[in-house]
Amino acid sequence: MPGMTLTHLAALGHHQPPHVLTNDDLAGLVDTSDTWIRQRTGIERRRIAREESVTDLAAAAAGKALAAAGRDPAEIGMVTVATCSAVDRCPSVAAQVAARLGIPAPVAYDLNNGCAGFTTALATADHAVRAGAARHALVIGAEKMSDVTDWDDRSTCVLLGDGAGAAVVSAGPPGGAPAGAGEDRPGVGPVVWGSDPSRGDAVRLLGAWRPRFAQDGQAVFRWATTELAPLARLACERAGIAPHDLGGIVTHQANLRIVEALVQRLDAPRAVVARDVVESGNTSAASVPLALSKLVERGDVGTGAPVLLFAFGGGLSWAGQVVTCP
């Protein structure tokens, strides 16, 4: 719309703890094997935080994104952390990250929308910048899922990992937009989001005292592979792009079988597909920014490339949008 402020991803950053937990390591804890895990999930390894907290992970990723954007901390007017595994309630993880990075007076809050948390938080930051409530926003997905893992449950302990990813969202059109794209092309496209609360029990992380992640894996698999592709295509439609023209696709890294099934239904042959779940496992709200940041860092998707972000999970909820790579 004329006069509406545009937004773009100015920079990305990610962080993972150094300790690697392999499938063979897990076979020493529960009745499983490397073959069993790979066949059912595609996961080969994941990172586990030993001493680092959710705040530590979030601050490390956010610091990299802020440095890459070349922004002074005082310019950041909004900090949002998407997480479902943080133990701190007040001050929020976002407020603690702001303090560590020297961001003096942002609106700072945590957002819990399960695995769809980052793409939900990205949309809210996009809306805030468009409305003029902030000119630069820091959006982070950070999880320490190892804190909420039931290490005796072989169906779930093989899935989860720890990590964080972050993005700086800034006002203005994307600087890397392809020639001829025009000054009115948004760098963060319109969001498609929603939930099916009637099936919320399919993914659970309940209680304040030693909560443990649990899910109905078959129900989640059926839902993700049969009902979500039309919503992902709708995100492309709202951004004014056909799936065939996508440069990349980053879905929630829940399970490689789910990622492959969803991408296949999108019919996007030119897109580079993120498969970070193989080396990082399911990092919940961190999975999309973590995978996106890695794709950009490796040069798998170039500056100005349109990339579909689409996340889904606990709630059951979903959120997605097309972004222009920084």
Q: Which residues have a catalytic role annotated?
A: 115, 252, 282
By DSSP bridging, strand 192-195 and strand 203-204 are: unpaired
Spell 204-217 as b/e; 16+ CB within 10 A means b. Answer: ebeeeeebbbbbeb
For residue 24, what are the contacts with CB-CB under 8 A and spacing of at least 6? 34
Tokens representing 109? 């809050």
Tokens representing 137? 């926003």
Tokens representing 296? 């950009």
Measuring CA to CA, which residue among 169, 175, 171, 126 is closest to residue 11? 169
Rounded to an integer, what distance in angstroms lies between the CA atom of residue 230 and that of residue 266?
Answer: 8
Count of beta carbons in the 10 Å neighbourhood of residue 122: 29
